[in-house]
Amino acid sequence: MNTYKSYTERAKQHPNACARSLFELMERKQSNLSVAVDVTTKKELIAIANAVGPFVCVLKTHIDIVEDFDMDLVQQLESLAKKHDFLIFEDRKFADIGNTVKHQYANGVYKIASWSHITNAHTVPGEGIIKGLAEVGLPLGRGLLLLAEMSSKGALTKGSYTTESVEMARRNKDFVFGFIAQHKMNQFDDEDFVVMSPGVGLDVKGDGLGQQYRTPREVIVESGGDIIIVGRGIYGNPDQVEAQAKRYRQAGWDAYLERLSIHQSA
Amino acid sequence: MNTYKSYTERAKQHPNACARSLFELMERKQSNLSVAVDVTTKKELIAIANAVGPFVCVLKTHIDIVEDFDMDLVQQLESLAKKHDFLIFEDRKFADIGNTVKHQYANGVYKIASWSHITNAHTVPGEGIIKGLAEVGLPLGRGLLLLAEMSSKGALTKGSYTTESVEMARRNKDFVFGFIAQHKMNQFDDEDFVVMSPGVGLDVKGDGLGQQYRTPREVIVESGGDIIIVGRGIYGNPDQVEAQAKRYRQAGWDAYLERLSIHQSA
């Protein structure tokens, strides 16, 4: 089961270029931490990206909540990604038919495909959404994550919804390299989907709008996730951003080492 | 069954202000036609909105595919909505947790809540998405549609997904007044959800990226939809925009009259 191998081993054998560079940088930086930066100004976004940059493998953005977005913001994010060695993941949650998402991904004000290494999509519209995004993203070497499970209360990502999403991923491995999910998605020896898990917190249990939290250990060791996504737990207190990023990186990495040790001795 | 009553009757008794004004203007303009304007320049969007304006009840936009979006575009759309008497429906397909969609709806570059009378959301994240959007939209008198069914090939909006979406709508009738769906959603005498149905075409059957088409008669008479959404069928040929808008309005209205006559005589 690829889930239980080291990130280095998985990097060596992964067919998807985006996944390979991700696994390599995770090992290089000893980080399976992604910070979800949900702030509404360019200044805050850049400040947080710069502060957490050294500790993350992926910086997750919601570019469409930034009031003063412009292409200079994108250029600054790209510079920080190079400087600190992380990938950018615009959490757009595409959810329309193929012909529409093509334009939303490539064009418009944000031109997401031009700067975001990773993006994601809901499978609810059917497989056409993957085909539409792949037309834009594949030639640019981008990677797509599918939403197979959500951590929010009452989410409908369950049963056949999840099963069919995994089937769609299997049929589109050239572009889809993993999932936003709460558990490992690998079932066969020849597959290696990267699982990024949101809703991770060490101090809180919910936000009053349906979000629910789990610890890094629960996600990595117990559920087989690969990357923990942490939001306000890291940047909620402006004085502690760097300290919290270090703390979560350590918690995530320790959980990964524990998982490795369990499965190496097994 | 409210589905089979006249739009005027439904306007009189509907608890939701957004739905009331929609039904009233549908009867006033004798139109159950919504045009989906999927173009990538401000100039095209304004030109089409102006050409189809007299014939539609709702203008559906994908504001995030417009390359040269600015607030002047919004102001022009608002002027056209007043001049031609239609509502604006930004087809954003929100699909994130409550705390994120709040910002995506109110803030960012687009400030959708400030100008779009109607928007829509996927139910896949659970009921928190409705709560988050309602915090922003209710005080502004906006209305929300849920995606209970999609017309694209292999869509996962089926079975318990649809059932649970309808339950969410029932629990949030102050804000949710209808669905994007392929069939009527009303089951009880005291409910009156407005159903807008995409994927309507008189001449074509598919677009190669998973979209499938039905006729206005199939949607309104056979399936109990209330508003037909037509896209490239109307603006695909620049010389025929007005003629096609008239043609589809007539087809939609004839279907509505046929439905009325069937159920009045029944």
Write the secondary structure of chain B as one string of H (helix), E (strand) and C (coil): CHHHCCHHHHHHHCCCHHHHHHHHHHHHHCCCEEEEECCCCHHHHHHHHHHHHHHCCEEEECHHHCCCCCHHHHHHHHHHHHHHCCEEEEEEEECCCHHHHHHHHHCCCCCHHHHCCEEEEECCCCCHHHHHHHHHHHHHCCEEEEECCCCECCCCCCCHHHHHHHHHHHCCCCCEEEEECCCCCCCCCCCCCEEEECCECCCCCECCCCEECECHHHHHHHCCCCEEEECHHHHCCHHHHHHHHHHHHHHHHHHHHHHHHHHHHC
Distance CA B6, CA B175 (A): 22
Q: What is the mean pLDDT of residues A186-202?
A: 93
**Closest chain A C-alpha to B134 CA, distance in angstroms:** 11
Distance CA B114, CA B44 (A): 22
Residue A203 DSSP symbol:
S
**Closest chain A C-alpha to B96 CA, distance in angstroms:** 7
Instruction: Give the one of B125, B152, B154 whose C-beta lies nearest to A155's C-beta.
Output: B125
B44 touches A: beta carbon within 8 Å: no
The residue in chain A having the minimum alpha-carbon distance to the alpha carbon of residue B94 is: A95
Which residues on A lie below 8 Å from B103 (Cβ)? 38, 40, 62, 65
Q: Do A155 and B62 touch (CB under 8 A)?
A: no
CB count in 10 Å sphere of residue B265: 6
A119 forms bridges with which residues in the sheet?
A: A90, A144
Structure tokens at B98: 């409550």
CB-CB contact of B199 with B151 (8 Å): yes
The predicted pLDDT at position B266 comes to 54
Question: Could you report the per-residue pLDDT of A201-241, keeping only the tens digit for each?
Answer: 998 665 565 567 899 999 999 999 999 999 989 999 999 99
B214 forms bridges with which residues in the sheet?
A: B200
What percent of chain A has a predicted confidence (pLDDT) above 70?
96
Instruction: Give the one of B107, B126, B154 whose C-beta lies nearest to A126's C-beta.
Output: B154
Question: Could you report the per-residue pLDDT of A9-57, keeping only the tens digit for each?
Answer: 999 999 899 999 999 999 999 999 999 999 999 999 999 999 999 999 9
CB-CB contact of A233 with A244 (8 Å): yes
Give the residue ranges of DSSP H helices in A175-230.
216-217
- Coil vs helix vs strand at A67: coil
Interface of A with B in 94-113 (CB under 8 A): 95-100, 102-104, 107-110
Please give the mean pLDDT across all residues of chain A: 94
Which residues on B lie below 8 Å from A70 (Cβ)? none
CB-CB contact of A153 with B129 (8 Å): no
Confidence class for position A266, pLDDT limits 50, 70, 90: low
Q: How far is CA B35 from CA A12, A196, B23, B46, B210, in A?
A: 50, 38, 17, 13, 20
Q: How far is CA A163 from CA A93, A95, A186, B210, B231, in A?
A: 19, 18, 12, 20, 32
Which residues on A lie below 8 Å from B64 (Cβ)? 64, 104, 108-110
- Indicate which of B64, B72, B90, B163 best probes the interface with A, i.e. most A CBs within 10 Å of its own CB: B64
Which one has a higher pLDDT value, A266 or A215?
A215
CB-CB contact of A69 with B109 (8 Å): yes
CB-CB contact of B196 with B156 (8 Å): no
Residue A206 DSSP symbol:
B
The predicted pLDDT at position B244 comes to 97
- According to the 3-state scheme, what is the secondary structure of A149-182? CCCECCCCCCCHHHHHHHHHHHCCCCCEEEEECC
Residue A41 DSSP symbol:
S
The residue in chain A having the minimum alpha-carbon distance to the alpha carbon of residue B160 is: A156
The predicted pLDDT at position A153 comes to 87
The predicted pLDDT at position B205 comes to 63
The predicted pLDDT at position A152 comes to 84
**Closest chain B C-alpha to A173 CA, distance in angstroms:** 18
Chains A, B: CB contacts under 8 A, how many? 174
Distance CA A133, CA B65 (A): 14
CB-CB contact of B156 with A161 (8 Å): yes
Percent helix, strand, coil in chain A, to 5, is 50, 15, 35
The predicted pLDDT at position B172 comes to 96
Active site residues of A: 93
DSSP strand pairing (B176-180 vs B58-61): unpaired
Question: Could you report the per-residue pLDDT of A146-157, keeping only the tens digit for each?
Answer: 998 887 889 999
**Residue for token digits 């999932």?**
A179
Q: Do A153 and B209 touch (CB under 8 A)?
A: no
The predicted pLDDT at position B213 comes to 85
In terms of Cβ atoms closer than 10 Å to its own Cβ (0-12, 13-18, 19+), residue B190 is exposed
**Residue for token digits 């203008």?**
B59
Q: What is the mean pLDDT of residues A63-76?
A: 97
In terms of Cβ atoms closer than 10 Å to its own Cβ (0-12, 13-18, 19+), residue A187 is exposed
Q: End-to-end CA distance of chain A: give it in Å, rounded.
A: 12
Q: What is the mean pLDDT of residues A162-185?
A: 95
Q: What is the mean pLDDT of each run of 10 residues along chain B (266 residues)?
A: 94 93 97 97 98 98 97 98 98 96 97 98 97 97 93 88 95 96 92 94 69 89 97 92 97 97 79
The residue in chain B having the minimum alpha-carbon distance to the alpha carbon of residue A154 is: B126
* Interface predicted TM-score (ipTM): 0.93
